[in-house]
Amino acid sequence: MKEIQIDPEISEFLNSYTIDYPNEEEMETSIEYILSQVPQKKKRFASFKTSAQTIIANSLREMLMFNWTFWALNSVFLFFGIMSLTVFQTDPYLTLFALAPMPFIAGIFEILKSQHAGLTELEMTLKYNAHQIVSSRLLVVGVFNLFINAAITALCLQVDPGLIFSKLLLSWTIPYVLVSGIAFLIAMSMKSNMVSSVLLTVWFVFCYVMIQTPVTQEFLMQLNGFKAAAFIMAGVIIWIVHIVKIKTFNIRSQGI
């Protein structure tokens, strides 16, 4: 290898330089500082588990904070369902279809009440923050809706054991997943505390028109596995989008 010739003057100049090595304490301080800047690898599963546990634990508190009108309205829906099936002997599949998303639509007002009350900004700064609060309320309303639908399904089978269970299940699963997803999508952009009332009215009108129109009634009755799966899948996709949106709550999305 060819040796590089350095000008003696430059060589002397360079040799005059000394490097002060840091002492042990200075090195420790530097390492500590650098370590604090290193992004921590997130343990995704552990983080998801903690987050889910927090949301479930907070659900009970949120449930206790729900306005009595939510419970009263749902009692009316349940009563209406029971009366329809037992006294008026309406079509159980259509009854389930119409009732399925109602508890959720009524609950949208509770889920988004921080937004309507102007409390989202404050809630974003709390230990259990805005997205955990909304998720907890969603869980309460969603599970409660599921419970109501399951109860009415059980009642249908009690009234008429000849009904097809899978068809009953499909009758409420589609509106429960898809209609509630679309309703939540509209509610997120409406930002009005009248949102539940408006959406419930729209759903009532839609169901009334559908029941009065033989073509739509027939379409609903003849929903096969593939079509039903497509509707449910569409609903699931809408909900995935919602969940991502809720997780990334920020002041701009909340219009603050």
Partner 1 sequence: MKLTLENVTKTFGDKRAVDGVSTELTNGVYGFLGANGSGKTTLMRMLATVSTPTSGRITLNGNDIFQLGDSYRDLLGYLPQHIGYYKHFTVEKFLFYIASLKGMDKHGAKQRITELLDRVNLTEKTKVKIGKLSGGMKQRVGIAQALLNDPKILIVDEPTAGLDPKERIRFRNLLSEIAQDRIVLLSTHIVSDIEYIAKEILIMKNGRLIEKNTPQKLMEGIQQQVWKVQVNDREVASYQSSYKVGNMVRGSNGVELRIISERKPAGDADHTPVNLEDLYLYYFDKEAGA
Q: Which is nearer to partner 1, 20 or 25 (CB)?
A: 25
C-alpha dihedral sign at 182, 183, 187, 188: negative
d(CA 25, CA 165): 73
**Cβ 65 to partner 1 shortest distance, Å:** 6
**Cβ 229 to partner 1 shortest distance, Å:** 38
Give SS3 for 25: helix
Which DSSP string do the residues of 142-182 spell out, in sequence order? Answer: HHHHHHHHHHHHHHHHHH-TTS-HHHHHHHHHHIIIIIHHH
Give SS3 for 121: helix
Q: Which is nearer to partner 1, 15 or 40 (CB)?
A: 40
**Cβ 132 to partner 1 shortest distance, Å:** 9
**Cβ 119 to partner 1 shortest distance, Å:** 5
Q: Which is nearer to partner 1, 2 or 252 (CB)?
A: 252
Q: Which is nearer to partner 1, 27 or 256 (CB)?
A: 256
**Cβ 47 to partner 1 shortest distance, Å:** 10
Nearest to 62 by CA among 126, 141, 136, 124: 136
Alpha helices in the chain (DSSP H): 8-15, 24-37, 44-64, 68-86, 92-99, 102-111, 113-117, 120-123, 130-159, 165-174, 180-190, 195-212, 214-221, 225-247
**Cβ 128 to partner 1 shortest distance, Å:** 5
d(CA 109, CA 70): 9
**Cβ 122 to partner 1 shortest distance, Å:** 6
Q: Which is nearer to partner 1, 90 or 129 (CB)?
A: 129
Q: Which is nearer to partner 1, 46 or 215 (CB)?
A: 46
Q: Which residues bind partner 1 (CB under 8 A)?
A: 33, 36, 39-40, 61, 65, 67, 113, 117-119, 121-129, 133, 250-252, 256
Q: Which is nearer to partner 1, 11 or 197 (CB)?
A: 197
C-alpha dihedral sign at 164, 167, 173, 176: negative
Give SS3 for 55: helix
